[in-house]
Amino acid sequence: MTDFSQPSTEFLTPEECAEVDKALLTSRDKFTARVAIYSLRSLRQIAQQSGQAIADLQTQQIAAWVANDPSLQQSVDSNFKGFFTQLTIASLKPLHQSAAEAGVAIEGLTVPQVVAWFEKEAKHRLERGM
């Protein structure tokens, strides 16, 4: 299991990448799952440092974290950081849904639970012909 309490200089760990890669997802869904997993790790760190629950975090706190994230410092301009901040904030929706489905707070989600939620959603979209 990934130690979310320690800052990482990697976007995702090799274990997290392997979990996403083995999922039955399109490239787009794998990208979205990877962003959600990065977001989960970041949100946990922000919450831990601020002493707040993830649900109580403010957009400004998330933006400041992304701007200073060591995994995004090399060759990344401010436009990308703004874009990535929006992706991270948008990840809250699937993380909330994944947590509700798993019956845990977002803080308690595991990477396999997040990936399983994305697989389930992709299957539902496929069944509906979307």
Asked if residue 33 belongs to a domain, the reply is yes
pTM (predicted TM-score): 0.80
The confidence score (pLDDT) of residue 96 equals: 94
In a domain, 85, yes or no: yes
7 inside domain: no
Residue 74 falls within a domain, yes or no?
yes
Q: Is residue 117 part of a domain?
A: yes
For each of the chain's 130 residues, which pLDDT tens digit applies? 444 444 444 678 899 989 999 998 999 999 999 999 989 988 998 999 899 999 899 999 988 888 887 766 666 677 887 888 898 899 999 999 999 999 999 999 999 999 999 999 999 888 888 6
Residue 1 belongs to a domain: no
pLDDT at residue 80, rounded to an integer = 80
Q: Is residue 8 part of a domain?
A: no
- Structural domain including 57 reads 16-127
Tallying the residues shown for the chain, one arrives at 130
> Considering its fold, how many domains does the chain have in total?
1
Q: Which SS3 state, helix, strand or coil, does residue 3 take?
A: coil
* 55 occurs within a structural domain: yes
